[in-house]
Structure 1
Amino acid sequence: MRPRASSLMLALTVVATSVTVAASPAAAAGATLTVNVAQPFRPVTHVASGGLYGLAENSRPADSTLLPIKMNSLTQPAPGVGQKPNGQPPGGDSLLVAPQATRVGAGEFIRMPDIYPDFPYKWVSWNDWLAKVDTMVRARLNATTVTNVIGWELWNEPDYTWNTAAAGAFNDGWTRTFRAVRALDPQTPIVGPSTAVYSRSWMQSFLTHARDTGTLPDIICWHELQNPARIAGDIADYRNLEAALGISPRRISINEYAAPAEVDVPGRVASYVAKFERAGVESAHRAFWYEYGTMNGLVVNNNQPTGTWWLYKWYGDMAGNMVTTTPGGQSGLDGFAAYDPTRKIVNVVFGDEAGTNTINLTGLGALGSSVRVTLLSTPAGGRFTGVAAPTTVSTGTRTVSGGQLSVSVPNMVATSAYQLVVEPAAGVPAYQQRYEAENASVFRAQRLTSASASGGGYVGRIDNSGTPRTDSYVDFVVNVPTARAYTMTIGYANGTGATATQGLAYNGGAWSTVSYPPTAGWGQFGATVSTTVTLRAGYNVIRLAKGSPYFAGGTGYAELDYIQLT
C-alpha cells in the first residue's frame, strides 16, 4: 500500500484526517475498559508486531530496535524487487533481508507483484508474468540457508490493481498463478487474495472459484486501512462466509493496517492491536506509507525510538496468555492485556480516548491482597520525533478486594497510549526467567494445549527437516541482565519410547545437541533436561530445531513446554 491519487486513497485520507483531529468521540469521556485476568483466550504471540516493507537491506533498522518488540512477521518485496514505493529506489528484497529477519525471529511473506516497478502495477503479458513467477520461486528455492519464508503472496490489492482488460478475470489469474507456484514449490503456504478492503461479494466470488479449482489460499489476507471498528465485523463475516461455502477455517493475516494519519498515533494503534488479538488473526502488519528502513516509522535518526515504538515495546514485554478485555459503551477506549502466571505480572496497553477513564481489573486473586500499580504513557510525536523513554504517570501500592481493582486514569490524551502494569507488592523476579514455547517464534510446528503444560500451552509436531522450506524450529527471544553462562532448563515431553534429539544454537553461533529421554506420553509434561548457554547482556535468540541450516537434523519428535534461564 502506497499513497496514490485514487478514490480509495482519498477516502482513507478523509478517515485519517478525522483521527488526527479527534481520535474518539468528544463526549465519550468517563469510559471503562474491563480486563478479566482470569479469562485467557490465546497465548501471547505478538500477532500485530509486524510490518509491510519493515526491513531494508544492510540491517535497517538495527536489530537492537527490533528484538524488544518481538516481531511476529513481515511482508517483503519479491526477490529481484523492482517496486519503487513513494519514488524510492527498489529495496527490501525478501531474500536479502532474510538474515536479519531470522536474527530477530520474524517470518516473511514474499509479495510477488513487487517485481514490477510501478504501483499500481503495470501488466505486461502472461508470458512475462509467468516467467517472473518462475524466476522468483527458483531464486527462493536456491536460497538454501533461508528458512523464515512463511508464505507466497500471489498479488496485492487485486480489487484495485488487477488489469482485467489486459490480463482477464482475477479469479482465473489467481488459479493460473497458484498452479505455477505450486508446480515448483508444493510446500510454502500461499497467501491471498490481499484485497485493499474487505468486501463480502468480492470475497465470495473469489472463494467459490478457488474452492472449485482446488486453489484456496492457505492464509486468507486482506487490508484494514480505514477504521479499526470494522475489524471484528469483517472477520466475523468472513468466518460465516467460509462456513457457508464449506471451506475449512483458514488462518487470517491482515498484512496492512492503519491509515497514514493513524499509523504513528499510539492511541489509535492500541485500538487496532486490541481488535486483532480479540478477533484471533494470526498476523497483522503495519502499513507502509513513507520510507524504508524505519519499521514503518517506529524509529528515527540512528535508530532512536518514536512514541509509537514504545507501544510495541510494551507489547513485546507481554508473556504468558492474552486475557479478555471488554470496552464499555460507545467510546473509543480500547486495549489489550496479558497475564504472565510465572511472574504474576498483568500488562495492559490501551488508548484512543481522552479525559478521565477507568481500567477495571478482575481475576487478580493470584497476585495477593496488595499490588504495585505502575502507569506509563507514550505520546504521538510522529515518525520524525525521538522519544527516549515513556513518561511515568504514577506508581504506588493498592489493595485488591475480591480479586478486583479499579484504576482511574486522569487526563488521558486520545492520541497517546498508556501501559498499566500490576504485580505483587512483594516484588517479582528481576528478569524474566521462564519463556513459554507457545510464546516463541514457531516455524512449521504447532502451538497446542495441555492441562499439564506450563501456562497451559506447548509446541508440538516439530517433525520436519531436510529443506529450508520444511525445517522445523522454535526461536526464543530472551533478555538477560548480564553476560555470563546460564543454566537453561527445558520442559518437554517425548512419547516415542526412545531418546529424541534437537539442535541448539543461540545468536547464530555453533550447534550443539540436546537429548530428550522418553517420557510417559505426548502432551504429558513435567520432565526436564538442562544444559548451559553463554549469553550476552540484553537480548538473545535461542533456537531449538529439528532441522535448520548448518544443522544435520534431530531425531524423534520431542515436544517443547518452556525454557528457563537461571
Structure 2
Amino acid sequence: MRYRPAVLLLVLAGLAVPSPARAAGNTLTVNVGTVVRPVTHVASGGLYAVDTGTKPPLEQMYPLRLNHLTQPPPGVQQLGNGATTPCCDGALAAGKVTSAGAQQFWRLPDIYKDFPYRWVSWTDWEAKVRTMVQTRLNATTTTNVDGYELWNEPDWTWNTSAAGTFNAGWTRTHRLIRTLDTVTPIVGPSHSVYNHDWMVGFLTNARDTATLPDVIVWHELENDKYLDVQAHVADYRAIESSLGISPRPISINEYASPSQVDIPSVAVHYMAVFERHGIRSAERAYWYEAGTLNGLLYNNAPTSSYWTYKWYGDMAGNIVQTVPGSWLEGVAAYDSTRKVVNVVLGGDSGDNTVRVNGLGALGSQVRVTLSRSGTTGRFTNQSAPIAVSSATYTVSNGSISVPVTGMHAWDSYQLLIAPASGASTWQQRYEAENATVVNANRFSSGSASNGGYVGQIDGSANPRNQSFVDFLVNVPAARSYTMTIGYANATGATATHGLAYNGGGWQTISYPPTAAWGVFGSTVNTTVTLKAGWNMIRLAKGSPNLTAGTGYAELDYIHLA
C-alpha cells in the first residue's frame, strides 16, 4: 500500500498518532509455563524490505531472524513512494532472502509502473502473468517463493469497469496460473482493510469456482488496528467454517500506519497480537523508502526501532503467554535449553511492573537485565539499545515482579531473565521448529527438546516442493564444531538427508532407524566448519543440486559444541 488522500488527511490532522494511556501502575503478566506456540518470529518481515547488494546489508538482516517478505515480481516496474528506479525484484533478491532465512510472496500487479495500478487489458495482464510465472519456473535454484499474490488491495485498486468484478478476475487469473504452475501457493485477496462482507463474497466465489487461496491475506493499516486483530481472525475463521472451507494460514502482509511504523512500542503491540492470535506471518508496511527493512535502517545502520525487532529476533524456544495491563503490552519467549526468558514490552508511561510467573526451573535467584529502545524516528541512527538496569532477584513461589520506572509510552523495553549463575554465553541448541521450515510441518511431542519438532520433510521433486529446514546460527569463533542432530526415523531402515552450510557442497547425514515417529532421544553427530558470526545450515530431503535424500526422518534440534 502507498499513500492515499484519506490517510494523508488523518496524518495531517494529527489523528493518526497513537495515544497510549498515560496512567502508571499497570502490570504486564508473563506466564512462562503457558506455551502459545513455537518461536517463528511471526512479525519479522516487510514489504519491499530487501533489495540486492548491500541494501540492506546481510549483517543487519541476520539478527532480525526475518520470517517472511512480500517482494515485487521479476521485471518489476513499480515506482513506489517517489522512487526513481524500481526496487527489490523478488527473483534477483532471492539468494539474499534465503541467506537471511526468509520466504517471500511475489506481488504480481507490481509489474505495473503506477500505483494505483493502471489496467490495460486482459490480454496485457495475462501475458504479464505468463512471463512472471515462467520466470519462477526457470529459477531452478530458488526455493523461497512460497506464494503468488494475485492482486494488491482490490477493494480500491481493481478497475471493475474495465476488467469486470475482482472475484471473476481472481478466478480467471488463478486458473491461468494453475495451467502453468500447479505447485507454488496462490495467496489473497489482500484487501486493504478487513471487511466481513467482502471476505464472504470472495470466499464464496473462490469455493464455488475451486480457486481458493492457499494462504489468506489482508492488511492491518489503520491506527490502533492491533486492537481489532483478534476480532478479525475470529470473524474470518467463522466464515471459513460456515462455508465448509478448511482452515487456511493467515498472513498480514502489510501492517502499521504511516504514523505508527517508526514507534517501537507500537511494533510491540503488533508482535503481541499476531503471536497471540495465530497469524502465520506479518510484514511491516512500505510507506517510505524501499530496501531499508521498512525504515529499521537509515543509511544501512540501525534506528531505534531496529532494536525492538532485534530483541524479538533473539527469541528462541516457545512464545509464552502474556497478559497486558491497560496499554502495557508485551511478547515473551522461554528457551528451556538455555533457561532464558526474553520479554519485549511497551505502551505505557510512568512506573509500571512486569510480573513473571513459572520461573522455578531457573533456580532460586535470577539475573534481570532491562534495556530500552529509545525513539529516534526514521532518519536518526542509534548504534545500540540503552541499558537501564541489571539486578539479581530472588524467586518466590516461582515468580518475580520487576518494576519498570519512568517509562516512555513510545519506547520499547527488553527484560532478559536468566539464572544468576551458570547461564549460557551463546546459543548452542537450535530447535527445528524455530528454524525456517520449507515444505514440511511443525508438530509437538512430549519427548522432543522444548516440546516441538519438524516432520513430513518428504518433498524432493523440484525447487517448488523440495523439503528442507534452514538453521540460522551464530557462533563465537571460526572453527570446527561438533553438530549433534536429534531425530526420529521409524522407517525400519537408515534414512539420509543432505547437509550443506553457507552455500557449500553437500554431504550426507545418515539416520539409523528408531522406535517410532514423534518419539525422540536418538542423535547422530557430524562436524561442521563455521565462520565466526552468522552461518546458514540446511538439512534437506530435497534441495537444488542435491541428490535426493533416502527414506524419511523427523528433526528435533541441532546442537553445536
Confirm or deny a common fold (TM above 0.5).
yes
1:480 aligns with 2:475: yes
Unaligned runs of 5+ in 2: none
* Cα distance in 1, alignment partners of residues 476 and 253 from structure 2: 34
- The equivalent position to 2:193 in structure 1, one of 197, 204, 226, is 197
Structure 2 residue 178 is matched with structure 1 residue 179: no
In 2: Cα distance, 1:171 partner to 1:441 partner: 33
Q: Secondary structure at the match of 2:115?
A: coil
Code of the residue aligned with 1:263 in structure 2: it is V
Choose the corresponding residue for 1:294, options 274, 292, 295.
Answer: 292
For 2:201 and 2:216, the matched residues in 1 are separated by 14
Q: Does 1:4 find its partner at 2:4?
A: yes
Deviation at residue 407 of structure 1 after TM alignment: 0.8
Instruction: Tell me what 2:101 maps to.
Output: 105
Does 2:57 correspond to 1:62? yes
Q: Distance in 2 between matches of 1:539 and 1:375?
A: 25
The match for 1:317 is: 314
Aligned to 1:267: 265
Deviation at 1:37, TM superposition (A): 0.2
Match of 1:150 in 2: 146
Alpha-carbon offset, residue 232 of structure 1: 1.3
Matched-pair identity in %: 61
Deviation at 1:235, TM superposition (A): 1.1
Superimposed CA distance per residue, residues 106-130 of structure 1 (whole angstroms, 9 cap, x where no aligned partner): 1010000000000000111111111
RMSD of aligned residue pairs (Cα, Å): 1.1
Which amino acid is the alignment partner of residue 427 of structure 1? Answer: G
CA 1:9–1:221 in 2, change beyond 3 Å: closer, same or farther? farther
Whole-angstrom CA distance in 2 between matches of 1:391 and 1:315:
16
Which segments of structure 1 move beyond 3 Å, counting only runs of 4 or more?
Answer: 8-17
* Other structure's SS at 1:310 match: helix
Q: Residue deviations 1:73-111, cap 9 Å, x none?
A: 100001110111012111111100001001111101000
2:491 paired residue number: 496
Q: 1:342 to 1:139 in 2, by over 3 A?
A: same
Query: Which residue is equivalent to 1:117?
Result: 113
Q: Which residue of 1 aligns with 2:246?
A: 248
253 and 564 in structure 1: CA distance in 2 versus 1, 3 angstrom threshold:
same
Correspondence 1:541 to 2:536: yes
Aligned residue type for 2:72: P
Q: Distance in 1 between matches of 2:145 and 2:508?
A: 25
1:427-482 deviations in whole A, cap 9, x for unaligned? Answer: 31111111000000001100011111111110010000121101111100111111
| 1:8 positional shift | 4.8
Write out per-residue CA displacement over residues 228-283 of structure 1, whole angstroms, 9 at most, x where no aligned residue: 11111111111112112211111000000011111111111101110000011000
Q: Is 1:528 aligned to residue 526 of structure 2? A: no
CA distance in 1, matches of 2:551, 2:386: 50
The answer for the alignment partner of 2:465 in structure 1 is 470
Alignment correspondent of 1:307: 304
- Report the count of equivalent residues: 558
1:447 to 2:447 alignment: no
Residue 79 of structure 2 contacts residue 113 of structure 2 at CA under 8 Å; is this kept in 1? yes
SS in 2 for 1:18: coil
Q: In structure 2, what residue type is equivalent to 1:439?
A: N
Change (3 A) 1:15 1:511: farther
How far the C-alpha of 1:176 sits from its partner, in A, is 0.4
Counterpart Cα distance in 2 of 1:16 and 1:340 = 40
Q: Which amino acid aligns with 2:267?
A: V
The answer to whether structure 1 residue 380 and structure 2 residue 379 are counterparts is no
Distance across 2 between alignment mates of 1:456 and 1:125:
53
Choose from 228, 231, 241 the match for 1:230.
Answer: 228
How many Å apart are 1:299 and its aligned residue? 1.1
Aligned counterparts of 1:325 and 1:429: Cα–Cα separation in 2: 25
3-state secondary structure, aligned to 1:384 = coil
Provide the TM-score with structure 1 as the length reference: 0.97
Q: Which runs of 5+ in 1 are unaligned?
A: none
Distance 1:8 1:211 in 2: 33
Counterpart CA distance in 2 for 1:275 and 1:338 is 14
User: Quick one: which amino acid aligns to residue 381 of structure 2?
Assistant: G
The answer to whether the Cα contact below 8 Å between 2:42 and 2:280 also exists between their aligned partners in 1 is yes
Contact 1:315 1:349 survives alignment (8 Å): yes
Provide the C-alpha distance between the structure 2 equivalents of 1:293 and 1:427, rounded to a whole number of angstroms.
Answer: 41
Find the aligned partners of 1:16 and 1:511 in 2 and give their Cα distance: 56
Please tell me whether the aligned partners of residues 373 and 395 of structure 1 are also in contact (alpha carbons under 8 angstroms). Answer: yes
Query: What CA deviation, in whole Å up to 9, does each residue of 1:390-412 have, x standing for no partner?
Result: 11111010011001111110010
Per the alignment, residue 507 of structure 2 pairs with 512
Contact 2:11 2:259 in 1 (8 A): no
8 A Cα contact 1:59 1:100, kept in partner: no
Provide the residue aligned with 1:49 in structure 2.
44
Please report how far the alpha carbon of residue 531 of structure 1 lies from its aligned counterpart in structure 2 after TM superposition.
Answer: 0.3
In the other structure, the counterpart of 1:82 is 77
CA distance in 1 between counterparts of 2:418 and 2:12 reads 41
1:326 maps onto 2:323 in alignment: yes
CA-CA distance at 1:15 after TM superposition: 7.4
For residues 217 and 11 of structure 2, the distance between their equivalents in structure 1, rounded to whole angstroms, comes to 19
* Alignment counterpart, residue 156 of structure 2, candidates 156, 160, 165: 160
Is the 8 Å Cα contact of residues 13 and 259 (structure 1) preserved in structure 2?
A: no
- Give the AA of the match of 1:146: T
Equivalent pair of 1:16/1:261 in contact (CA under 8 Å)? no
Q: How far apart in 2 are the matches of 1:166 and 1:358? A: 57
Cα distance in 2 for residues equivalent to 1:81 and 1:50: 20
Letter in 1 for 2:349: A
Are 2:380 and 1:401 aligned? no
User: Given that residues 78 and 115 in structure 1 are in contact (C-alpha distance below 8 angstroms), is that contact kept between their aligned partners in structure 2?
Assistant: yes
The structural deviation recorded for 1:10 is: 3.6
